[in-house]
Amino acid sequence: MSLRRFIPVLAGAAGLGLLIAPLANASTDATGTFRYDGQTITNPVDGHCYQLTSGTAGAHRIANATNKVATLSSGASCLGPRITRVAPGTGEIATQEAYGSVIFR
């Protein structure tokens, strides 16, 4: 390949790289806050399992003011056995169910 033909190809490849690089580095983490019985998680990391604590008996309060679905688990490992999904932007709700962990996706 001659140098005259190589330079436009190189420039085109570099331009394509500049367009794709920001997409590859775009954050997929949630933005906003999630609240459970007074515990607040701000801008949770996507796919990270957060432990939840509840010191109260009776009704538990949940609010998902993030832009991601919050998947609550009754276990501590985000794997169940009981799982509830709370949609993004959900205001405060009350439940009798106690949860041990939450993950955002």
pLDDT in tens, 35-90: 999 899 999 999 999 999 876 667 899 999 999 999 999 999 999 888 999 999 99
What confidence tier does 8 reach under pLDDT thresholds 50, 70, 90?
low
What is the pLDDT averaged over residues 23-30?
A: 66
In Å, how far are 5, 18, 21, 33, 50 from 12, measured between CA atoms?
11, 10, 14, 42, 44
Range of the domain at 97: 32-104
What is the reported pTM?
A: 0.72
Residue 100 lies in a domain: yes
Number of domains in the chain: 1
Residue 44 lies in a domain: yes
- According to the model, what pLDDT value does residue 59 have? 83
Residue 16 lies in a domain: no
Residue 25 lies in a domain: no
What confidence tier does 26 reach under pLDDT thresholds 50, 70, 90?
low
| pLDDT over 50 at 18, yes or no | no
